[in-house]
Amino acid sequence: MKNNNPVILEFEHILKIFRIKTSLFKGDSREVIALNNVSFKIFKGEIFGLVGESGSGKTTIGRLITKLEHPDKGRLTFDGENIETLKRKSLRAFRRKVQMIFQDPYQSLNPYLSVYDTLSEPLIIHNVGDDKTTRKDKILRIMKSVGLSPPEDFLHRFPYQLSGGQRQRVAIARAMILEPSFVVADEPTSMLDAPISIQIFNILSQFSQKHSVTFLFITHSLAAARYLCDRIAVIYKGELVEMGPVDDIIQNHRHPYTRALIEAHPKFRYY
Protein backbone atom coordinates (compact mmCIF):
# COMPACT_ATOMS: atom_id res chain seq x y z
CA MET A 1 0.00 0.00 0.00
CA LYS A 2 1.42 3.37 -1.00
CA ASN A 3 0.87 6.43 1.14
CA ASN A 4 1.12 9.77 -0.66
CA ASN A 5 1.07 11.80 2.54
CA PRO A 6 4.38 13.29 3.73
CA VAL A 7 6.39 11.59 6.45
CA ILE A 8 5.78 13.13 9.87
CA LEU A 9 8.06 10.91 11.94
CA GLU A 10 11.03 8.71 11.09
CA PHE A 11 13.21 6.35 13.09
CA GLU A 12 16.60 5.78 11.46
CA HIS A 13 18.70 2.91 12.86
CA ILE A 14 17.78 3.63 16.48
CA LEU A 15 19.69 1.82 19.22
CA LYS A 16 18.56 2.09 22.84
CA ILE A 17 20.43 0.40 25.68
CA PHE A 18 19.39 0.33 29.33
CA ARG A 19 21.94 -0.34 32.05
CA ILE A 20 20.48 -2.44 34.86
CA LYS A 21 22.13 -2.70 38.28
CA THR A 22 22.68 -6.32 39.29
CA SER A 23 23.77 -5.71 42.89
CA LEU A 24 24.26 -3.00 45.50
CA PHE A 25 27.95 -2.74 44.68
CA LYS A 26 29.11 0.14 42.50
CA GLY A 27 29.75 -0.85 38.91
CA ASP A 28 27.80 -4.11 39.03
CA SER A 29 25.41 -3.76 36.12
CA ARG A 30 24.50 -5.30 32.80
CA GLU A 31 23.34 -3.87 29.50
CA VAL A 32 19.93 -4.64 28.06
CA ILE A 33 19.34 -3.77 24.42
CA ALA A 34 15.79 -2.42 24.30
CA LEU A 35 15.88 -1.42 20.62
CA ASN A 36 18.31 -2.75 18.04
CA ASN A 37 18.71 -0.88 14.74
CA VAL A 38 15.03 0.08 14.51
CA SER A 39 13.92 1.99 11.40
CA PHE A 40 10.44 2.95 10.21
CA LYS A 41 8.39 5.88 8.92
CA ILE A 42 4.97 7.16 9.95
CA PHE A 43 2.96 9.24 7.49
CA LYS A 44 0.81 12.24 8.35
CA GLY A 45 -2.78 11.39 9.20
CA GLU A 46 -2.35 7.64 9.59
CA ILE A 47 -2.83 5.41 12.60
CA PHE A 48 0.32 3.32 12.83
CA GLY A 49 0.19 0.29 15.10
CA LEU A 50 3.13 -1.14 17.02
CA VAL A 51 2.36 -4.68 18.17
CA GLY A 52 4.41 -6.75 20.58
CA GLU A 53 4.53 -8.47 23.94
CA SER A 54 5.59 -6.89 27.21
CA GLY A 55 9.32 -6.15 27.16
CA SER A 56 9.53 -6.09 23.36
CA GLY A 57 10.55 -2.44 23.26
CA LYS A 58 7.33 -0.88 22.02
CA THR A 59 6.82 1.47 24.98
CA THR A 60 10.48 2.53 24.69
CA ILE A 61 9.71 3.71 21.16
CA GLY A 62 6.85 5.83 22.48
CA ARG A 63 9.05 7.30 25.21
CA LEU A 64 11.76 8.16 22.69
CA ILE A 65 9.26 10.00 20.52
CA THR A 66 8.04 12.07 23.46
CA LYS A 67 11.62 12.69 24.67
CA LEU A 68 11.11 10.83 27.93
CA GLU A 69 14.10 8.74 26.81
CA HIS A 70 16.99 9.44 24.45
CA PRO A 71 18.52 7.13 21.82
CA ASP A 72 22.07 5.84 22.19
CA LYS A 73 22.56 5.77 18.43
CA GLY A 74 20.56 6.68 15.37
CA ARG A 75 18.40 9.59 14.31
CA LEU A 76 14.77 10.37 15.16
CA THR A 77 13.15 13.11 13.10
CA PHE A 78 9.78 14.83 13.45
CA ASP A 79 8.62 16.99 10.54
CA GLY A 80 12.14 16.72 9.17
CA GLU A 81 13.89 17.95 12.34
CA ASN A 82 16.14 15.87 14.57
CA ILE A 83 14.29 16.04 17.89
CA GLU A 84 17.52 15.62 19.86
CA THR A 85 18.68 19.03 18.63
CA LEU A 86 15.52 20.92 19.64
CA LYS A 87 16.08 23.74 22.14
CA ARG A 88 13.95 26.33 23.91
CA LYS A 89 11.20 27.67 21.61
CA SER A 90 11.45 24.81 19.13
CA LEU A 91 11.37 22.27 21.98
CA ARG A 92 8.36 23.99 23.53
CA ALA A 93 6.56 23.91 20.17
CA PHE A 94 7.44 20.23 19.78
CA ARG A 95 5.99 19.37 23.19
CA ARG A 96 2.74 21.01 22.20
CA LYS A 97 2.59 19.14 18.89
CA VAL A 98 3.45 15.71 20.32
CA GLN A 99 1.37 14.28 23.16
CA MET A 100 1.05 10.91 24.88
CA ILE A 101 -1.88 8.89 26.25
CA PHE A 102 -0.57 6.58 28.95
CA GLN A 103 -1.64 3.02 29.61
CA ASP A 104 -2.93 3.32 33.16
CA PRO A 105 -5.61 5.99 33.73
CA TYR A 106 -5.42 5.26 37.47
CA GLN A 107 -1.82 6.48 37.63
CA SER A 108 -1.63 9.01 34.80
CA LEU A 109 -4.08 11.45 36.42
CA ASN A 110 -3.18 13.51 39.47
CA PRO A 111 -5.64 12.43 42.20
CA TYR A 112 -5.58 15.93 43.72
CA LEU A 113 -6.70 17.70 40.52
CA SER A 114 -10.29 17.93 39.33
CA VAL A 115 -11.13 17.26 35.69
CA TYR A 116 -11.26 21.01 35.11
CA ASP A 117 -7.81 21.55 36.67
CA THR A 118 -6.35 18.57 34.78
CA LEU A 119 -7.51 19.94 31.43
CA SER A 120 -6.71 23.58 32.15
CA GLU A 121 -3.13 22.82 33.22
CA PRO A 122 -1.70 22.24 29.68
CA LEU A 123 -3.56 25.33 28.42
CA ILE A 124 -1.95 27.47 31.12
CA ILE A 125 1.52 25.97 30.57
CA HIS A 126 1.39 26.68 26.83
CA ASN A 127 -0.45 30.01 27.12
CA VAL A 128 -3.48 28.82 25.17
CA GLY A 129 -6.57 30.99 25.61
CA ASP A 130 -6.73 34.60 26.73
CA ASP A 131 -8.81 34.13 29.85
CA LYS A 132 -10.61 31.59 32.04
CA THR A 133 -13.81 31.82 29.99
CA THR A 134 -12.04 31.00 26.74
CA ARG A 135 -10.22 28.09 28.36
CA LYS A 136 -13.39 26.76 29.97
CA ASP A 137 -15.19 26.81 26.62
CA LYS A 138 -12.32 24.83 25.09
CA ILE A 139 -12.41 22.36 27.98
CA LEU A 140 -16.16 21.81 27.61
CA ARG A 141 -15.79 21.18 23.86
CA ILE A 142 -13.01 18.65 24.27
CA MET A 143 -14.93 16.85 27.02
CA LYS A 144 -17.92 16.45 24.70
CA SER A 145 -15.68 15.13 21.94
CA VAL A 146 -14.39 12.30 24.17
CA GLY A 147 -17.84 11.34 25.41
CA LEU A 148 -17.89 13.05 28.81
CA SER A 149 -21.34 14.47 28.35
CA PRO A 150 -22.88 16.58 29.66
CA PRO A 151 -19.44 17.96 30.53
CA GLU A 152 -20.76 20.07 33.39
CA ASP A 153 -21.50 16.85 35.28
CA PHE A 154 -17.81 15.84 35.19
CA LEU A 155 -16.05 19.19 35.32
CA HIS A 156 -15.44 19.29 39.07
CA ARG A 157 -15.07 15.59 39.76
CA PHE A 158 -11.82 14.06 40.94
CA PRO A 159 -10.30 10.86 39.51
CA TYR A 160 -11.58 8.69 42.38
CA GLN A 161 -15.11 9.71 41.39
CA LEU A 162 -14.70 8.38 37.83
CA SER A 163 -14.79 4.90 36.32
CA GLY A 164 -11.78 3.52 34.48
CA GLY A 165 -13.31 4.37 31.12
CA GLN A 166 -14.12 7.91 32.23
CA ARG A 167 -10.59 8.39 33.52
CA GLN A 168 -9.15 7.32 30.20
CA ARG A 169 -11.47 9.75 28.40
CA VAL A 170 -10.08 12.52 30.60
CA ALA A 171 -6.55 11.36 29.75
CA ILE A 172 -7.40 11.48 26.04
CA ALA A 173 -8.95 14.94 26.44
CA ARG A 174 -5.79 16.14 28.21
CA ALA A 175 -3.64 14.90 25.31
CA MET A 176 -5.93 16.36 22.63
CA ILE A 177 -6.75 19.74 24.16
CA LEU A 178 -3.57 21.32 22.77
CA GLU A 179 -4.58 20.18 19.26
CA PRO A 180 -1.44 18.11 18.69
CA SER A 181 -0.46 16.78 15.28
CA PHE A 182 0.99 13.53 16.69
CA VAL A 183 -0.15 11.37 19.61
CA VAL A 184 1.46 8.29 21.13
CA ALA A 185 -1.30 6.05 22.53
CA ASP A 186 0.44 3.52 24.77
CA GLU A 187 -1.97 0.61 25.23
CA PRO A 188 -4.80 3.01 26.15
CA THR A 189 -7.40 0.24 26.52
CA SER A 190 -5.43 -2.56 28.17
CA MET A 191 -7.15 -1.95 31.51
CA LEU A 192 -10.66 -1.55 30.06
CA ASP A 193 -13.29 -4.09 29.10
CA ALA A 194 -14.16 -4.78 25.45
CA PRO A 195 -17.22 -2.50 25.00
CA ILE A 196 -15.40 0.50 26.52
CA SER A 197 -12.29 -0.31 24.48
CA ILE A 198 -14.30 -0.10 21.26
CA GLN A 199 -15.61 3.30 22.32
CA ILE A 200 -12.07 4.51 22.97
CA PHE A 201 -10.93 3.18 19.58
CA ASN A 202 -13.75 5.10 17.91
CA ILE A 203 -12.79 8.31 19.71
CA LEU A 204 -9.18 8.00 18.50
CA SER A 205 -10.39 7.23 14.97
CA GLN A 206 -12.60 10.33 14.96
CA PHE A 207 -9.69 12.55 15.97
CA SER A 208 -7.62 11.02 13.21
CA GLN A 209 -10.29 11.55 10.56
CA LYS A 210 -11.69 14.92 11.62
CA HIS A 211 -8.53 16.65 12.77
CA SER A 212 -5.83 14.81 10.78
CA VAL A 213 -4.08 13.72 13.96
CA THR A 214 -1.39 11.08 13.44
CA PHE A 215 -1.32 8.26 15.98
CA LEU A 216 1.25 5.73 17.07
CA PHE A 217 -0.98 3.06 18.64
CA ILE A 218 1.02 0.74 20.91
CA THR A 219 -0.65 -2.57 21.74
CA HIS A 220 -0.07 -6.24 22.54
CA SER A 221 -3.28 -7.16 20.67
CA LEU A 222 -3.22 -7.84 16.95
CA ALA A 223 -7.03 -7.75 16.99
CA ALA A 224 -7.03 -4.21 18.40
CA ALA A 225 -4.46 -3.13 15.82
CA ARG A 226 -6.53 -4.62 13.02
CA TYR A 227 -9.62 -2.76 14.20
CA LEU A 228 -7.97 0.64 14.43
CA CYS A 229 -4.77 0.88 12.40
CA ASP A 230 -3.85 1.60 8.78
CA ARG A 231 -0.43 -0.07 9.02
CA ILE A 232 1.33 -2.04 11.71
CA ALA A 233 4.83 -3.06 12.69
CA VAL A 234 5.44 -6.18 14.76
CA ILE A 235 8.26 -5.81 17.27
CA TYR A 236 10.03 -8.77 18.90
CA LYS A 237 12.91 -8.47 21.37
CA GLY A 238 13.72 -4.94 20.28
CA GLU A 239 13.65 -5.58 16.53
CA LEU A 240 10.96 -4.94 13.92
CA VAL A 241 10.18 -8.27 12.26
CA GLU A 242 7.15 -7.37 10.08
CA MET A 243 5.70 -4.12 8.77
CA GLY A 244 2.89 -3.27 6.37
CA PRO A 245 -0.90 -2.93 5.99
CA VAL A 246 -2.68 -4.89 8.72
CA ASP A 247 -4.46 -7.42 6.52
CA ASP A 248 -1.28 -8.03 4.52
CA ILE A 249 0.57 -8.90 7.73
CA ILE A 250 -2.22 -11.24 8.85
CA GLN A 251 -2.50 -13.02 5.50
CA ASN A 252 1.14 -13.00 4.38
CA HIS A 253 3.16 -12.97 7.59
CA ARG A 254 6.68 -14.35 7.54
CA HIS A 255 7.98 -14.33 11.10
CA PRO A 256 7.18 -17.06 13.66
CA TYR A 257 6.35 -14.46 16.30
CA THR A 258 3.70 -12.92 14.05
CA ARG A 259 2.29 -16.42 13.58
CA ALA A 260 2.11 -16.77 17.38
CA LEU A 261 0.19 -13.50 17.62
CA ILE A 262 -2.24 -14.71 14.97
CA GLU A 263 -2.68 -18.10 16.66
CA ALA A 264 -3.65 -16.25 19.84
CA HIS A 265 -6.78 -15.06 18.00
CA PRO A 266 -8.74 -18.02 16.58
CA LYS A 267 -10.68 -15.87 14.12
CA PHE A 268 -7.40 -15.04 12.33
CA ARG A 269 -6.47 -18.69 11.73
CA TYR A 270 -8.59 -19.02 8.63
CA TYR A 271 -6.63 -16.47 6.61
CATH T-level assignment (fold) for domain 7-268: Rossmann fold (3.40.50)
Q: What is the mean pLDDT of residues 217-240?
A: 94
- In 3D space, the residue among 143, 200, 187 whose CA is nearest the CA of residue 51 turns out to be 187
Q: At what angle do helices 132-145 and 194-211 cross, to 10 degrees?
A: 120
Q: Contact at 8 Å (CB) between 71 and 15?
A: yes
What is the pLDDT confidence band of residue 271, given thresholds at 50, 70 and 90? very low
pLDDT at 21: 73
What is the pLDDT confidence band of residue 26, given thresholds at 50, 70 and 90? low
- In 3D space, the residue among 144, 185, 189, 142 whose CA is nearest the CA of residue 165 turns out to be 189
77 CB-contact burial (10 Å; exposed 0-12 / middle 13-18 / buried 19+): middle
Whether omega for the bond prior to residue 150 falls within 30 degrees of 0, making it cis, is yes
pTM over 0.85: yes
pLDDT at 239: 96
Residue 147 has pLDDT above 80, yes or no: yes
Reported as a single tens digit per residue, the pLDDT across 180-210 is 999 999 999 988 888 999 999 999 999 999 9
Sheet containing 81-82: order of strands: 29-43, 7-21, 73-78, 81-82
pLDDT averaged over the chain? 91
pLDDT at 29: 75
Measure the CA–CA gap between 249 and 24, rounded to whole angstroms: 45
Q: ∠115-116-120 over CA atoms, to 5°?
A: 120
One DSSP character per residue, 98-129 reads EEEE-S-HHHHS-TTS-HHHHHHHHHHHTT-S
